[in-house]
Amino acid sequence: MTESLDSWAILRWLDGDEPAAARVEAAIPSRPVMSWINLGEVAYIVERRAGVDRARRVVRELRPRLTLDLPSEARVLEAAHLKAGYTMAYADAFAVATAIAHGATLLTGDPEILNGDPTWPVEDLRS
């Protein structure tokens, strides 16, 4: 099974918040898919919390451990379509669009995603 991560999952993993951290740790060896948009979201949140050096280090360390998806025009439009139809952040729409495009299960605990379309391939990391 292909897995995908959003910023919610990575941030919980970085913080060691269980049970999400253990599930993300188990997924990392298979190089889960993640949109560059969502990695950018991780970077700005880490920079706000711990500074630019820590944010750059996190990105540098994650790059070889993830399969990073640079959004195409089609992915941008699919994310826009998802954003138009559901109450969610635009970055969350990229996470969903990326998972769907790769036939992956999105590992997340983000309520905006989990409360979206029940056909989305998601796994709730909150419990």
Domain map of the chain by residue range?
3-119
The contacts found for 23-26 with CB under 8 angstroms, 24 or more apart, are 23/107, 23/123, 23/125, 24/107, 24/125
Phi, psi for 47 (deg, rounded to 5): -60, -45
* pTM for the model: 0.95
CA distance 93 to 98: 8
pLDDT at residue 93 in the model: 98
Q: pLDDT tens across 18-43, in order?
A: 999 999 999 999 999 999 999 999 99
Q: pLDDT tens across 68-123, in order?
A: 999 999 999 999 999 999 999 999 999 999 999 999 999 999 999 999 999 999 99
**CA 71 to chain CA centroid, nearest Å:** 13
Does the pLDDT value for residue 16 go beyond 80?
Answer: yes
Does the pLDDT value for residue 2 go beyond 80?
Answer: yes
pLDDT at residue 127 in the model: 86
pLDDT at residue 72 in the model: 96
CA distance 97 to 75: 7
In sequence order, what are the residues at sequence separation of 6 or more whose Cβ sits closer than 8 angstroms to the Cβ of residue 38? Answer: 5, 6, 7, 10, 91, 94, 95, 98
Does the pLDDT value for residue 1 go beyond 80?
Answer: no
Mean pLDDT of 59-63: 98
HSE-up of 127 (CA within 13 Å, CB side)? 2
CATH architecture of 3-119: 3-Layer(aba) Sandwich (3.40)
Contact between residue 121 and residue 100 where contact means Cβ atoms under 8 Å apart? yes
